């Protein structure tokens, strides 16, 4: 299981630059990210090389964030593999709250980062179905 940094960012010019600058200053690599915005605030979800340190340094700078458990599943870069993953989750009656894409820097394979209500149970289910999980 991975820890994701969920950042609640005011939707203003320069906010993403501020966030990424803090991470860069601390030598924290962004491995995957997705941003959802609204008129006033956005949620930036990131898998980073050191989530605890990212949380600490962003919080010190007054940026509201939290750590969240997510599941990372490596799949082959072939047509239909995301559908196979989602079908396995659906067959197990597992609801996915959101997902986004990252890549395994060593294998070059896509990694689907997903959030569910019970990450430990979902990890077990996916492993039993032969999926490769990243930690």
pLDDT (tens digit, 9 = 90+) per residue, 65-122?
A: 999 999 999 988 889 889 999 999 999 899 999 999 998 888 888 899 999 988 888 8
Distance CA 121, CA 127 (A): 10
Rg (CA), the chain: 16
pLDDT of residue 58: 97
pLDDT of residue 114: 93
Q: For the structural domain made of 70-130, what CATH number should be given? A: 3.30.70.260
Phi, psi (deg, nearest 5) at residue 87: -65, -40
Delimiting residues of CATH 3.30.2130.10 domain(s) in the chain: 2-68
Delimiting residues of CATH 3.30.70.260 domain(s) in the chain: 70-130
pLDDT of residue 78: 87
CATH architecture of 2-68: 2-Layer Sandwich (3.30)
Strand partners, 35: 44
Quote the crossing angle between the two packed helices 119-128 and 81-91, to the nearest 10°.
Answer: 110
How big is the CA angle at 17 (ends 13 and 19), to the nearest 5 degrees? 115
């Amino acid at each position: 299981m991975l820890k994701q940094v969920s950042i609640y960012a005011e939707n203003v010019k320069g906010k993403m630059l501020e966030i990424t600058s803090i991470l860069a200053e601390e030598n924290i690599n962004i491995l995957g990210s997705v941003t959802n915005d609204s008129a006033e605030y956005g949620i930036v979800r990131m898998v980073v090389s050191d989530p605890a340190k990212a949380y600490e340094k962003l919080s010190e700078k007054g940026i509201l964030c939290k750590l969240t458990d997510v599941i990372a599943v490596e799949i082959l870069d072939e047509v239909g593999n995301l559908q196979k993953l989602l079908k396995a989750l659906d067959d197990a009656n597992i609801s996915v709250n959101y997902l986004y894409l990252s890549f395994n820097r060593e294998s070059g394979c896509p990694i689907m980062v997903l959030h569910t209500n019970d990450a430990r149970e979902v990890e077990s289910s996916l492993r039993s179905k032969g999926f490769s999980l990243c930690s």
